[in-house]
Copies of this chain bind each other. A is one copy, B any other.
Amino acid sequence: MAGEGRPDVQQHGGDIGALMGSCPLPLPEYQEIVLAHGSGGKLSQQLIRSMLFPEFQNEFLNVAHDGAIFTVNGTRLAFSTDSFVVNPIFFPGGDIGKLAIYGTVNDLAMCGARPLYLSTGFILEEGLPMQEFWAVVNSMRTAAATAGVDLVTGDTKVVDRGKADKIFINTSGIGIVPIGVNICPERARAGDKVIVSGEIAVHGIAIMSVREGLEFETEVSSDTAPLSDLVSVILGVADIHVLRDPTRGGVTSALTEIAQSARVGIFLDEARIPISEEVKGACEILGLDPLYVANEGKLLAIVADDESAPVLSAMRGHPLGRNAAIIGIVTDEHPGLVTMKTRIGGTRVVDMLSGEQLPRIC
- Return chain B residues, CB-CB under 8 Å to A90: 7, 9-10, 12, 14-16
8 A-B residue pairs with CB within 8 Å: A12-B88, A30-B130, A34-B158, A60-B152, A72-B75, A72-B176, A80-B153, A85-B157
Contact B152 A19, beta carbon cutoff 8 Å? no
A126 and chain B: residue at smallest CB distance: B35
Contact B135 A16, beta carbon cutoff 8 Å? yes
Instruction: Decide yes or no whether A47 CB sits under 8 A from chain B.
Output: yes
- Return chain B residues, CB-CB under 8 Å to A48: 154, 156
Residues 106-133 of A, flagged 1 when their CB comes within 8 A of B and 0 if not, give 0000000000110111111111111111
Shortest CB distance A132–B (Å): 5
Q: Indicate how many identical chains form the complex.
A: 2
What's the dominant secondary structure at chain A's contact region?
Answer: mixed
Q: At the interface with chain B, which of A165-173, A181-189, A195-203, A286-294?
A: A165-173
Count residues on chain A whose CB falls below 8 Å from chain B CBs.
113
Instruction: Decide yes or no whether A139 CB sits under 8 A from chain B.
Output: yes
Bound together, the chains give a CA A35 to CA B70 distance in angstroms of 39
- Return chain B residues, CB-CB under 8 Å to A138: 19-20, 23, 55
Residues 61-92 of A, flagged 1 when their CB comes within 8 A of B and 0 if not, give 10000011010111101011111110111111
